[in-house]
Amino acid sequence: MHWLLRLDKTPRLVLLSIALGLVGGFGAQLFLWLLNEGETLIFTAITHEQFLSVAAAAGMKQPPVFHLNWWIPLATTSGGLLAGFLVYSFAPEAEGHGTDAAVKAFHQTKGLIRARVPVVKALASAITIGSGGSAGREGPTAQIAAGVGSILGRLLRLPEDERRYMVLMGMAAGLSAIFKSPLGTAIFSVEILYSGMAFEGGALLYCVIAAAVAYAVTGAIEGWSPLFILPTEGFGSGRDLVWYGVLGVFAGLVATLLPAVFYRVRDQFHKLRVPNHFKPAIGGLLVGSIGIFVPGVLGGGYGYMQLALQGGAGMALWLLLLLGLFKIITLSLTIGSGGSGGVFAPSLYIGAMLGAAMALLLHLFGVTSISSTGMAVVGMAAVFAGAARVPIATLVMVAEMTGGYHLIMPTMLAVALSYLVQFSLTRHAKYPTLYEAQVVAPTDSPVHRGLYYQVATDLLRRGQMHLDQDILASELAGQSNSDNGIPLGNTSKNLFRMRLVAGTPLAGAEIRSIGIPDLLILTILRSDHQIAPSAATTLQVGDELVIASDPKAMATFREHASPTVKSKQDAA
């Protein structure tokens, strides 16, 4: 493969995106087979029932007949126990929802994912969801394909930035294969990294190629029809946009509630003084207990989403609201306890139930022009767009998944309102979105901060930028005061901050006398003003120094500046 490394970056990544598209497409088919086997061997074998599929739900005029099945908790608990031992024995990072793990790999681990993770994630997710766990199949496929991308990048010894791109390309391919949404999932992969309105634009082209190839593989195997089947109807008249706007506001409220409940449940499971191996079984027991009375919340829930998209298929208002509410709870219990699965599909489920319920409520009050199907589709998009802070990607994805392109206008309105409401209400929340590994903007990502600091360093050195106490307190107070400092882009130097304390032997010394190679004092904050230092600048007690240096040189400088050095000199 040495010939690949001799190529320029763009053609190399194009070829690798095609390869990852094939991996994502065929990998998704393998995972779906594992999922079906898991359902057959665990849920169906124990309960003698099956999850409602989209194909089975299509055309149904009434929801499935409900009856109590006391074997459901045994299935969900068994699945949780098996998945827990598998995950926590071999790859603890495979717990939870896989998309968040891929985001974390991009921001925090230099695009590195352990080779065993894709295998463990596939098996654990198939067991969790196949036993009745309330989770989606998109997160596992995202982490599986992203993991393969990371492994391939490591084997090829790609540069760090390309390895991160490989993670995003794999995620786009896996999601595209599952949702049959090539453009939407490509955008999702570069938008999900940031909770603000930001994108990793440099990776978009390669994600589009990977997603398109994966979609081609899925289409060739399963056909080209969308994931869901919609009745052919419009969204109504222009006056109905008001009601879609109201739906967007309510979706924003639900999108605010969802991360709060999800992570509160997760944190409570973390506090349990029980070995991690057993926690998914506890979550499974609680989910199964709810499933006895509300079986529609078990599994991925795609069949019930199809019912909602068909105007509710005769489901009462109270049932639609109940399904949406308990899906929030069962999702939180399944993933929060350490089970393995995705949060995207459950979020769509909650939104579909909200939209269908609101349409039914409007019909009861005489607003008959509103489309139940349109409200359900728009609800799907609006809830997830707010909860995950990915408005643009969700808008496209839901249109591709349902074929509801005629609903673009009301979806745009509802998604925008949901995002704004959710953003406003979670501004100071501990967990503002469903994806804990997200950062607000590129400047907050370790991937880009080093480059920004490198630029700032160059400006400081040339005297074209000044730092004040607020910047030192907020931006440089943490890592820069540590032994490791903040990496400066692709250089060998880090950015450090240091205050000269009383008793330092450097008090009164000129900078030229320091004589430590690979160390540069960029700026000095003294009292309320800033000094651009020169070789003749004299240091004083209380000076706040911003230094560019390699860690070894900085350690030497700290030793020279320590008051203990002066004490030893005086004693001698």
The DSSP line for 49-79 is --PPPHHHHTT-SSPPPP---TTHHHHHHHH
pLDDT digits (tens, 9 = 90+) for 377-407: 999 999 999 999 999 999 999 999 998 888 8
DSSP symbol at 480: G
Question: What are the sequence ranges of the domains in the chain?
Answer: 2-425, 445-571
Q: What is the pLDDT of residue 525?
A: 80
Report the percentage of the chain scoring pLDDT > 70. Answer: 90
Backbone angles phi, psi at 545, to 5 degrees: -100, 135
Query: Which of 90-104, 145-159, 481-495, 510-524 is predicted least confidently?
Result: 481-495
pLDDT (mean) for 246-253: 97
DSSP symbol at 202: G
Residue matched to tokens 């499974």: 284
132 torsion bin: left (phi>0), alpha (psi -120 to 50), beta (else): left
pLDDT digits (tens, 9 = 90+) for 497-520: 888 888 889 988 888 888 888 788
Q: Between the CA of residue 444 and those of 198, 275, 319, 438, what are the distances in Å?
A: 11, 34, 43, 10
Spatial CA neighbour of 351 closest among 440, 266, 257 = 257
Of the pLDDT bands very low, low, confident and very high (cuts 50, 70, 90), residue 496 is confident
Distance (Å, whole) CA 144 – CA 296: 27
Q: Is the pLDDT of residue 15 over 90?
A: yes
Mean pLDDT of the chain: 87
Instruction: Say which CATH class 2-425 falls into.
Output: mainly alpha
Please write down the HEC assignment for all residues of 140-197: HHHHHHHHHHHHHHHHCCCCHHHHHHHHHHHHHHHHHHHHCCHHHHHHHHHHCCECCC
Tokens of 448: 């880009």
Per DSSP, helices labelled H in 365-494 are 372-388, 391-402, 408-425, 446-461, 469-474
Q: Is the pLDDT of residue 46 over 90?
A: yes
pLDDT (mean) for 133-161: 87
CA atoms within 13 A on the CB side of 87: 34
Distance (Å, whole) CA 44 – CA 38: 9
Tokens of 65: 């007949």
pLDDT digits (tens, 9 = 90+) for 427-455: 889 999 999 989 888 877 877 765 555 55
Q: What is the pLDDT of residue 77?
A: 97
Q: What is the pLDDT of residue 391?
A: 94
Q: What is the pLDDT of residue 570?
A: 52
Q: What is the pLDDT of residue 515?
A: 83
Of the pLDDT bands very low, low, confident and very high (cuts 50, 70, 90), residue 108 is confident
DSSP symbol at 546: E
Candidates 3.40.50.1100, 1.20.1440.230, 3.30.70.1450, 3.30.2270.10; CATH matching 445-571? 3.30.70.1450
Per-residue burial over 323-352, b = 16 or more CB atoms within 10 Å of its CB, e = otherwise: bbbbbbbbbbbbbbbbbbbbbbbbbbbbbb
pLDDT (mean) for 204-215: 96
Terminal C-alpha separation, the chain: 63
